[in-house]
Structure 1
Amino acid sequence: MGSPLGQFYLEWLDHLHLTANQLLSSTTKPLPSPDHLPLLISRFLMQYFDYYRVRSLAADHDIVSLLSTPWCTPLERSLHWIGSWRPTMVFHLVYTESSILFESHIIDILRGYRTGDLGDLSPSQLRMVSDLQCETVREENEINDELGEWQEAGACDLLLTISGVTDVQVFRLAEAVKKADELRLKTVRRVVELLTPRQAAEFLVSVAEMEFGARGLGMKYSQLSATSA
């Protein structure tokens, strides 16, 4: 937990939490101006990208910590793919949130009213989201293929054996981690581009809640384990 990246991560989560709360509030209250919501979305994305820019720099200096993420709980790490969340997880967020909102407004939608939220995705939006999901799956698989012998052993074995590999192999691993982070960011950005500002705000709140939810549950389970030990 004492690493600079770990401290940055915790501070980043706090700032992201504040911006996510502002986004959530903006979807339920009148906006002070038409530009207010797009500005909040831009602020959220800038904060989100900041963490992964720092990770990219860290990949060149401490790839073991970046992959093992000692600042995260065991539950968080169990959900990781190459040091963080799997890019295709965002599509599950879109579909889940869309289904929940659709069911809550189904009477209005059947009557022809447009709710304008994630439950009101158009057929063309759904098609584009599906196409992007297929593209993201392909890119995930390509990164897995690039890892080659690293991925065959699994992340745990990798961390145990990395001290015995060459500088070239460590460089290749760092580049694979950077590509994974770039794919995470690109996926979030492109989903936002397919949505209206209100839909994008709801989507980004769900992305933030994915981070907070895993963190909160992980802390809870860790405390219970420590108490029962």
Structure 2
Amino acid sequence: MYQQQKGRPSSGNGHFENWGDNSAMADNSQQTDTSTDVDTDDKNQLHGVQHGALVVVDSMEQAKERTGDQKTLRRLAQNREAARKSRLRKKAYVQQLENSRLRLSQLEQELQRARQQGIFIANGLPGDHGHSVAGNGALTFDLEYAHWLEEHQRLIHDMRSAVNCHMGDNELRILVDSVMTHYDEIFRLKSIAAKTDVFHMLSGMWQTPTERCFMWLGGFRSSELLKILGNHLEPLTDQQLMGICNLQQSSQQAEDALSQGMEALQQSLVETLSSANHCPTGSGNVADYMGQMAIAMGKLATLENFLYQADLLRQQTLQQLHRILTTRQAARALLVISDYFSRLRALSSLWQARPRD
């Protein structure tokens, strides 16, 4: 049998080979079935993972959308707030421009009147160039006064803020001293301007028409100013009341003396210019009146002294008032004085801008 089988190797080998193939096929079939099951599970797991990823992506997108909505709302709110602030700034800027325009128009009118007066004086006597210097001096003072007024308003604003926020007396005293020093500066400028054009200073062409209505010898009456302050400085001690009362009386007496001196000067000028003793011929020639003019010129020279005495009285009144009052009372007094003159200027602007039929 062994030999027979050995004699038929191809048949035996074929049987064994077929069996081996069948075994391989069986193994392949099992592997195929197993791999198919594995692929199905992997697909299911992959689908689950993909579905979970989609859910996460959707949640992230929704969160991003909500975050984007919040950012949009916040940005819109910020834009509305920025627009509101921009409108307020624009409104304040327009108001500032309007105030500046009114102030510039007022200053131009004052300068125009000063120029007209300067030109009139310059052309009054042919060949007399000294009078043109007087006109230029008036214009120079007008510009200096405009700068002084701007600085004064800034100082008053700072002091008002200090009073409203209850700043300490030491800091407030510095502001009060600054305002007082600033008043000294305007008196110094007026003294210099009076040497070139005393009539310009006495007429008050550098102030508004309403201020000129209440003017006395180129400025304010100290006694009237003390009356205005009386109702704004309470409570005052008996010593302070006595000091202010005495100051008001002394100011009134000095004002009366200067007023009487000005009236006497005017009467003397009238008598000098109307006298016929110096011109018996009555020809009307200016050369015949030069003697009278020389006398009148000598009398007019005292006008500068009257203006100086009046400004000195105003300056000393403010200084004495400062010594009588406490630091906080002095600050309130300076605020009241500034507000009074500001209202006079505002009244003048309203009067000039009134409708005319």
* TM-score tier (shorter): 0.7 to 0.9
**Corresponding position of 1:228:** 356
Give the one of 196, 200, 212 matched to 2:330.
Answer: 200
Q: What is the CA–CA distance in structure 1 between the aligned matches of 2:165 and 2:252, rounded to whole Å?
A: 36
Q: What is the CA–CA distance in structure 1 between the aligned matches of 2:206 and 2:195, rounded to whole Å?
A: 19
Q: What is the CA–CA distance in structure 2 between the aligned matches of 1:210 and 1:53, rounded to whole Å?
A: 22
**Corresponding position of 2:175:** 40
Q: Tell me if structure 2 keeps the 8 A contact 1:73–1:222.
A: no
What's the TM-score, normalizing by structure 1? 0.79
Residue 22 (1) aligns with residue 158 (2): yes
Give the deviation of 1:202 after TM superposition. 0.1
1:120 alignment partner, SS class: coil
Query: CA deviation digits over 1:94-134, x for unaligned, max 9?
Result: 2121xxxxxxxxxxxxxxxxxxxx22111111011101111
Q: How many percent of aligned residue pairs carry the same amino acid?
A: 23
Residue 137 (1) aligns with residue 252 (2): yes
Residue 214 (1) aligns with residue 344 (2): yes
Q: What is the CA–CA distance in structure 2 between the aligned matches of 1:89 and 1:148, rounded to whole Å?
A: 20
Give the deviation of 1:170 after TM superposition. 2.0
Q: What is the CA–CA distance in structure 2 between the aligned matches of 1:54 and 1:202, rounded to whole Å?
A: 26
- Structure of higher CA gyration radius: 2
Q: 5 Å matches for 1:79-228?
A: 79-97=214-232, 118-150=233-265, 166-224=296-354, 227-228=355-356
CA gap of 1:23–1:57, structure 2 versus 1, over 3 A, is same
Name the aligned partner's letter for residue 194 of structure 2. A
What's the TM-score, normalizing by structure 2? 0.52
Give the deviation of 1:38 after TM superposition. 1.0
Q: What is the CA–CA distance in structure 1 between the aligned matches of 2:211 and 2:231, rounded to whole Å?
A: 20
User: What is the RMSD of the two structures over their aligned residues, measured on CA atoms?
Assistant: 1.9
Q: What is the CA–CA distance in structure 2 between the aligned matches of 1:151 and 1:17, rounded to whole Å?
A: 37
What count of residue pairs does the alignment treat as equivalent? 196
Name the aligned partner's letter for residue 255 of structure 2. E
Please say which of residues 144-153 and 211-220 is displaced more in the overlay: 144-153
Q: Tell me if structure 2 keeps the 8 A contact 1:58–1:66.
A: yes
Gaps of 5+ in 1: 98-117, 154-163
Query: CA deviation digits over 1:21-40, x for unaligned, max 9?
Result: 21122222142x54211110
Question: Relative contact order (C-alpha < 8 Å, sep 6+): which is higher?
Answer: 1
